[in-house]
A and B are shown apart, each in its own frame.
Chain A
């Protein structure tokens, strides 16, 4: 045990942890990202080509990735 940790806590009083996306906007952000992800994914599914991999699939996968994480949080499973 390190008794200096309490001082670390006191010293950090001015910088509370604030997440990138607040709890109140998690659902909206997650929903938009998932909608975007599925739309782009759907567009890629209709027109599969090497060009569309970076143009549609990569943004779709990114939107899905962050959308899924935020949707987990939005429904109360704080991952």
Chain B
């Protein structure tokens, strides 16, 4: 009987594996086109406003564009050009109809046509084709990671940090743009250097500076692919936090009624390096008279209410400089790295916590289970946090099957999803683990949901006690058998 149980479980695992491979195919976010591909000139950008926000340690760009179909047939594909370098750092693409928020989902996906080409395209598919002559207002939002370089590249620990960022004053577009302007928003009004361009109309010189905002434009008609490289250098006296890899585990326990979270961060500071050795005395003095620094010295993790048993460790072991406040209204984990993290430094660490299963897990009407957890939690920092590679692993109980998931993270960010086997304490076959790999995510997406449904048959849930029962019975029966063995020489009667 046990053999058949093992065999059926193996079969179910195989079916999970095949489901996973089909997921892999479906979650692919790129399409292939011929190497000679050029976007057909079927649209015209009547008016375009490009807002670049460099307020945080990643760049958030927002293109609001009024497009007009100038072709004779209805069109449903709009292309946005990026350089190959930008494409690798692009994340969180979301497209909306600015005038009609109920318009169906716009699907943004990278187009693969020639790996060698410096210009790559993002294709936006409309929910319904745009009729000839008709107009539509698109709001395209995306983020660029690893966008800045510190300038100067190395400074003293008490100095201010400045960052350098270059972009195009004309919004890169695959179509002719009639009218456009580019606004750049900065964290402070201290912008010592920026490229100046000759003005047009009433304006003598671009950009116009208003507080912490620079405006290039309005510009008159520009052809498709027109660029005007400009660069800015601005004060950014905050850490440039970059998480090169985040591994987030969510472990569901039905026996314990618990959902355990663990996050392993590989954190880098991409800001200015120190020009001299780190001076602990100066650092400690500066905490009183100049607490504003570009070093990373504290992180705050607002967790879901009901979180408990938080821990914070690094390669050495427990880090005692943390506080965890958990009450009816909030659960806030505040951690201080073991050392202040300056530019070019790295700090890998791990945090974890538990929560009651009832906060995240529900029973469905069909007898299955549904889990709803945040895809990303992580620190909430004023300067923002960027994540280059994210791996979210939902470890379901041993024997869970028929796993389905849905997440509100932009689909363009998800690179792979599948079901694997994770083995840990008291497991015989290993637990079903849903692994989702994503890239180029930002703290703006913290709290986006991940919903997972699965079935968990009664026999699968009883596997652990049954295995222990079997082992204990084997010991008892073994003891009885061994005890009954006659090892003495029989006396002749």
Shortest CB-to-CB span from A18 to chain B, Å, is 6
Query: Within the assembled complex, what's the spacing in Å between the Cα atoms of A9 and B364?
Result: 8
Check B362–A2 contact: CB distance below 8 A.
no
Check B258–A60 contact: CB distance below 8 A.
no
Tell me whether A17 and B362 are in contact in the complex, defined as CB-CB below 8 angstroms, given that A1-B405, A5-B404, A23-B257 are known contacts.
yes
Chain A interface residue count, CB cutoff 8 Å, equals 45
Check A57–B473 contact: CB distance below 8 A.
yes
Tell me whether A79 and B404 are in contact in the complex, defined as CB-CB below 8 angstroms, given that A12-B365, A58-B473 are known contacts.
no
Shortest CB-to-CB span from B313 to chain A, Å, is 15
| Residue in contact with B464 in the complex, picked from A11, A76, A79, CB distance below 8 Å | A79
- Asked if A45 lies at the interface with its beta carbon under 8 angstroms from chain B, I say yes
Check B472–A70 contact: CB distance below 8 A.
no
Check A53–B477 contact: CB distance below 8 A.
yes
In chain A, what residue has the closest Cβ to B357?
A17
Check B483–A1 contact: CB distance below 8 A.
no
| Residue in contact with A78 in the complex, picked from B255, B361, B451, CB distance below 8 Å | B255
Interface secondary structure of A, over-half rule: helix
Shortest CB-to-CB span from A13 to chain B, Å, is 7
Chain B interface residue count, CB cutoff 8 Å, equals 50
Check B480–A6 contact: CB distance below 8 A.
no
Query: Within the assembled complex, what's the spacing in Å between the Cα atoms of A5 and B468?
Result: 36
In chain B, what residue has the closest Cβ to A66?
B465
Tell me whether A13 and B362 are in contact in the complex, defined as CB-CB below 8 angstroms, given that A65-B465, A68-B468 are known contacts.
yes
| Residue in contact with B255 in the complex, picked from A13, A19, A64, CB distance below 8 Å | A19
Query: Within the assembled complex, what's the spacing in Å between the Cα atoms of A2 and B192?
Result: 50
Query: In the complex, what residues of A have CB within 8 A of residue B256's CB?
Result: 19, 23, 26, 72-73, 78-79
State which residues 1-44 of A face B: CB under 8 Å: 1-6, 8-9, 11-13, 15-19, 21-23, 26, 37, 41, 44
Query: In the complex, what residues of A have CB within 8 A of residue B286's CB?
Result: none
- Asked if B55 lies at the interface with its beta carbon under 8 angstroms from chain A, I say no
Check B365–A61 contact: CB distance below 8 A.
no
In chain B, what residue has the closest Cβ to A15?
B363
Check A62–B469 contact: CB distance below 8 A.
yes
| Residue in contact with A73 in the complex, picked from B253, B411, B468, B472, CB distance below 8 Å | B253
Tell me whether A72 and B425 are in contact in the complex, defined as CB-CB below 8 angstroms, given that A2-B406, A17-B361 are known contacts.
yes
Query: Within the assembled complex, what's the spacing in Å between the Cα atoms of A48 and B357?
Result: 43
Query: In the complex, what residues of B have CB within 8 A of residue A70's CB?
Result: 255
Which of A4, A12, A49, A64 gathers most chain B CB within 10 Å? A12
Shortest CB-to-CB span from B182 to chain A, Å, is 35
In chain B, what residue has the closest Cβ to A64?
B472
Shortest CB-to-CB span from B214 to chain A, Å, is 40
In chain A, what residue has the closest Cβ to B452?
A5
- Asked if B176 lies at the interface with its beta carbon under 8 angstroms from chain A, I say no
Query: Within the assembled complex, what's the spacing in Å between the Cα atoms of A39 and B225?
Result: 82
Check B365–A77 contact: CB distance below 8 A.
no
Check A41–B476 contact: CB distance below 8 A.
yes
- Asked if B142 lies at the interface with its beta carbon under 8 angstroms from chain A, I say no
Shortest CB-to-CB span from B394 to chain A, Å, is 13
Check A16–B465 contact: CB distance below 8 A.
no
Shortest CB-to-CB span from B458 to chain A, Å, is 12
Type the 1/0 row for B353-367, where 1 means its CB is closer than 8 Å to any CB of A.
Answer: 010111101111100
Check A61–B255 contact: CB distance below 8 A.
no
Query: Within the assembled complex, what's the spacing in Å between the Cα atoms of A9 and B453?
Result: 9
Check B472–A61 contact: CB distance below 8 A.
yes
Tell me whether A61 and B476 are in contact in the complex, defined as CB-CB below 8 angstroms, given that A1-B405, A15-B363, A19-B256 are known contacts.
yes
Type the 1/0 row for B294-309, where 1 means its CB is closer than 8 Å to any CB of A.
Answer: 0000000000000001
- Asked if B449 lies at the interface with its beta carbon under 8 angstroms from chain A, I say yes
State which residues 392-407 of B face A: CB under 8 Å: 404-407
Check B354–A78 contact: CB distance below 8 A.
yes
Check A57–B27 contact: CB distance below 8 A.
no
State which residues 30-70 of B face A: CB under 8 Å: none
Query: In the complex, what residues of A have CB within 8 A of residue B407's CB?
Result: 1
Query: In the complex, what residues of A have CB within 8 A of residue B247's CB?
Result: none
| Residue in contact with A12 in the complex, picked from B364, B424, B464, CB distance below 8 Å | B364
Check B451–A8 contact: CB distance below 8 A.
yes
Check B473–A16 contact: CB distance below 8 A.
no
- Asked if B426 lies at the interface with its beta carbon under 8 angstroms from chain A, I say yes
Query: In the complex, what residues of A have CB within 8 A of residue B255's CB?
Result: 19, 69-70, 72-73, 78-79
Query: Within the assembled complex, what's the spacing in Å between the Cα atoms of A73 and B404?
Result: 27
Shortest CB-to-CB span from B457 to chain A, Å, is 15
Chain B contacts to A: CB under 8 angstroms: 26-27, 251, 253-258, 260, 309, 354, 356-359, 361-365, 369-370, 372, 404-407, 411, 424-427, 449, 451-453, 464-466, 468-469, 472-473, 476-477, 479-480, 483-484
Top 3 nearest A-B pairs (CB, nearest first) are A19-B257, A78-B253, A73-B256
A-B contacts, 25 listed (Cβ < 8 Å): A1-B405, A3-B406, A5-B406, A6-B451, A12-B365, A16-B363, A18-B358, A19-B254, A21-B257, A23-B356, A48-B483, A48-B484, A50-B480, A57-B473, A61-B469, A64-B468, A64-B469, A64-B472, A65-B465, A65-B469, A69-B464, A72-B426, A76-B309, A78-B251, A79-B427
